[in-house]
Structure 1
Amino acid sequence: MTDFETEQGDELRAFTERLCSFDTTGGNEGPAQEWLADRLSEMGFETYEWTADAERLAEHPSFPDDPVAIEHTEASADGPTLVERPSVAGVLEFGDPDDGQTLVLNGHMDVVPVARESWDTDPFEPTWEGDDLTARGAVDMKSGLASCVFAAKHLHENAEGRNLDGRLVVESVVGEEEGGLGAAAAALSNPYPFERDAAIVAEPTDLTPVVAVEGTVMKRLRITGRSAHAATRWRGESVHPHFEAIRRAFFELEAERSESVTHPLYDEFPIPWPIVVGTVEAGTWSSSVPATLTAEMRLGVAPGETVDEVEAMYEERLAEVVEESEWLRDHPPTFERFSIQFESAETDPDEPIVGALQSAMDGEGLDTTLRGETYGADSRHYVAAGIPTALFGPGTIEQAHFPNETVHWPDVVTAGTVLTETARTFLD
């Protein structure tokens, strides 16, 4: 195999810059996807396109039951509809493609919104400082997507005489930050006229192999008290003490689960299955006893657990708090799901794609120790469809969703090299 950086480096760099120049927040992936599809065709890929169907996704456990809520998620409430948000893919064939394996290299085109006042540069004008590229999406995950494209291209251009059979599929999906709209659609209804044997999702794993991702359940808690004038506070019933009792009970459960729910890939995390109370809104006036409170929270789900199981644990703990309070017994709080749910996912370390990835990493002197992560990813959709999937890509999760999001360019080149060799081994 010829040197990846020598043959692909300059074009990969320009390609990544162009990807990062597209503002793909709020469901606006369309122009970038059109550009990508054209570029894939120019490179010799056979291209495919699909869109998610809200009615079909409403039957999926990760998504709301209401198709309207899926069609216009919080991230794209005023943006394009699903039919205006295509996922695209390019396919390259090797030898006798039906006699070999098919490997999917997956990335997502959407990025999270930007707080421009927190950035030192325009987030959609890629900026270089030495070997570091700064732009929204540089880490999460347009550089990873670009490395997938050029790994497939590089292997195809240098495949002569290598007796490779099979296919490489490079996917650019939409709505990953909204629960995996494009990936879920591809998992539910195969957009290709062939089966898929394995996948790699090029999330920013800091060039480490990830085979397990955590799930999450999103819950909204509502508590009702009784309002009163501040001057006669004792006549009211503040929601704050009740919320604090519930919050304390939930974090006690989190601590218990950290001890009782174990997984060898999560021993390094001080809180392996974290909960976060992300928003709390209470009261209506500074001079009134607060009579309403709404809190939205994320509950961690370990690999091997289901969203339903973890949800039931927290609902049981809430019931215990309610039972201890006369007020809450008479005015029971509600605790309902909202937004998108993430099931956990895990791929067996003995799967051939994991071995191929580790072998390629070893060739580059990288640490091949398998890891789990406390975030969710599109890998869960493919694993649920019976497609063994690993995560591997450039950049660190600490830079994802962060102001001045920056990727170290040599890591992108290394990712491309590793993905090329992984694909070669898997198709051999």
Structure 2
Amino acid sequence: MSEAETLLRALVRIPSVNPRDGAGDGGETQVAEYVRDWLERRGVAATLYEVLPGRHNVVAVVPGRRAETVALVSHLDTVETYGMTVEPYDGQVRDGRLYGRGACDAKGPLAAFLLALAALAAGKPPPRTVVLAGVCDEEHAYRGVLGLLETLAGLPVAGAVVGEPTDLVPAIAHKGVVRYTVRTTGRAGHSSRPAEAVNAITLMAPVLAHLAATAPAVAPHPLLGPATRSVTRIRGGTGPNTIPGSCEADIDRRTLPGEDPDAVWDADRAELAALGAQVDPPFTVDPALDTPGDATVVTALCRALDGHGRPCEVRGMPFGTDASKLARAGIPSVVFGPGSVTDAHAAAESVALADVELAALVVETALREATAGSGPEGVGRCG
């Protein structure tokens, strides 16, 4: 059994479903402890940091020849296991693929980063100090990466590679999101006397039709395409014989780089209010990512991919990641990892072990190069 298979199987066998503000930590801390112990057996110092009550990040450091730092960031939590068609916590291997919840998103990328860090620690010091962080809460409210920013405060962080399934291509852009609830209010009544009531579901119908027919008025992004707006949940009614007095729907508005989330919500609120709906303040706001293609961490990763015979053209990704929070703090960030987003959160989630091994080699190669400028240019100080 390869080291990649042994490591990833061990990570998948530790359940770490994000509790989404429920009780406990879902196992994030147990994964963090495993990462710490695995690294310390290989001579790499690692520390746990409590971000939320009982929920931890793990941060490890390999000192380089310079204090300037490159961060490897991947998350410890997973989504739920409902509807899975494979055993979620077995780590079964078939035809070179390891199956289980988190195998692709994002314990495969985490395993690749761990293997790369261990290889760096076993050789000559890399040109720049390397920090590896396993963070909690990425799948819900990204509080783990916000805690990491506090941990890194004041360090000269030159760039970050964020582990997510990108099919081993470097992703420098992704969409953000503004999620809010829209509601209509009628007057409840008995279903035998509908003329005496006002049906809130009927009032919601033109709102839903408008959302389906009207795209956001913003120019497409060259790597991401158009902004989108989708209805993701709808709730209304109290019983089969009652005209509903209220109805509400959740809206997922995917934003492009350069869009201001507050302005997006203000525009949507005015647009839907004209149809008689009330729009609540957003319950989720996550920024988009748009890292310059010539950022040093990007070019180093691209050179490493090219050196290993892999495509190195930068891409955009449709999903959000912790990279946007790092970038907003002044840290140029690129998203990279083994696996495909089509396998993330899937009923038979899996990742090719060969891709985990190749990702580790690519990251190690990139970090052995000069992954930051020789002076202050291109180096952001977190915080």
TM-score (norm 2): 0.90
Q: Given the alignment of the two structures, is residue 129 of structure 1 paired with residue 129 of structure 2, yes or no?
A: no
SS at structure 1 position matched to 2:346: coil
Q: Given the alignment of the two structures, is residue 168 of structure 1 paired with residue 116 of structure 2, yes or no?
A: no
Q: Given the alignment of the two structures, is residue 153 of structure 1 paired with residue 115 of structure 2, yes or no?
A: no
**What is the match of residue 365 of structure 1?**
309
SS at structure 1 position matched to 2:69: strand
List alignment gaps of at least 5 residues for structure 2: 20-24, 373-383
- Contact residue 273 and residue 374 of structure 1 kept, 8 A: no
Question: In 2, distance between residues paired with 1:349 and 1:109?
Answer: 28
**What is the match of residue 376 of structure 2?**
none
Match of 1:102 among 44, 69, 82: 69
Aligned length: 365
Q: Given the alignment of the two structures, is residue 91 of structure 1 paired with residue 91 of structure 2, yes or no?
A: no
SS at structure 2 position matched to 1:86: strand
The correspondence of residues 9-408 of structure 1 with structure 2, limited to 5 A, is 10-25=2-17, 26=19, 27-28=25-26, 29-52=28-51, 82-94=52-64, 96-98=65-67, 101-115=68-82, 118-159=83-124, 164-187=126-149, 189-191=150-152, 194-254=155-215, 256-257=216-217, 260-267=218-225, 272-322=226-276, 333-408=277-352
Q: For each residue in 1:36-72, what CA deviation from the matched residue of structure 2 results, as whole angstroms up to 9, or x when unmatched?
A: 11121111112233233xxxxxxxxxxxxxxxxxxxx
Question: In 2, distance between residues paired with 1:225 and 1:410?
Answer: 57
- CA displacement at 1:239 relative to structure 2: 1.5
**Larger relative strand fraction:** 2
Say which is worse superposed, 127-136 or 24-33, in terms of deviation.
24-33
Question: In 1, distance between residues paired with 2:180 and 2:359?
Answer: 37
**What is the match of residue 4 of structure 1?**
none
Q: For each residue in 1:341-400, what CA deviation from the matched residue of structure 2 results, as whole angstroms up to 9, or x when unmatched?
A: 211121111111111111111112222221112211100111011000000100011111
- CA displacement at 1:251 relative to structure 2: 3.1
Which amino acid in structure 1 is aligned with residue 50 of structure 2? T
Identity across the alignment (%): 26
Question: In 2, distance between residues paired with 1:12 and 1:396?
Answer: 18
Q: For each residue in 1:276-316, what CA deviation from the matched residue of structure 2 results, as whole angstroms up to 9, or x when unmatched?
A: 21211111111121211121121111111121121122112
Which amino acid in structure 2 is aligned with residue 84 of structure 1? G
Question: In 2, distance between residues paired with 1:284 and 1:83?
Answer: 37
- Contact residue 304 and residue 345 of structure 1 kept, 8 A: no
- Contact residue 48 and residue 191 of structure 1 kept, 8 A: no
TM-score (norm 1): 0.81
Question: In 1, distance between residues paired with 2:58 and 2:141?
Answer: 17
Question: In 1, distance between residues paired with 2:207 and 2:154?
Answer: 51
Alignment root-mean-square deviation, CA: 1.8
SS at structure 2 position matched to 1:321: coil
Which amino acid in structure 2 is aligned with residue 140 of structure 1? D
- CA displacement at 1:249 relative to structure 2: 2.1
Question: In 1, distance between residues paired with 2:77 and 2:360?
Answer: 21
- CA displacement at 1:193 relative to structure 2: 7.0
- CA displacement at 1:253 relative to structure 2: 3.3
- CA displacement at 1:407 relative to structure 2: 0.7
Question: In 2, distance between residues paired with 1:253 and 1:157?
Answer: 56
- Contact residue 97 and residue 352 of structure 2 kept, 8 A: yes
- Contact residue 250 and residue 314 of structure 1 kept, 8 A: no
- Contact residue 135 and residue 405 of structure 1 kept, 8 A: yes
Question: In 1, distance between residues paired with 2:153 and 2:9?
Answer: 29
- Contact residue 179 and residue 253 of structure 2 kept, 8 A: yes
Question: In 1, distance between residues paired with 2:163 and 2:139?
Answer: 14
SS at structure 2 position matched to 1:426: coil
Which amino acid in structure 2 is aligned with residue 217 of structure 1? V
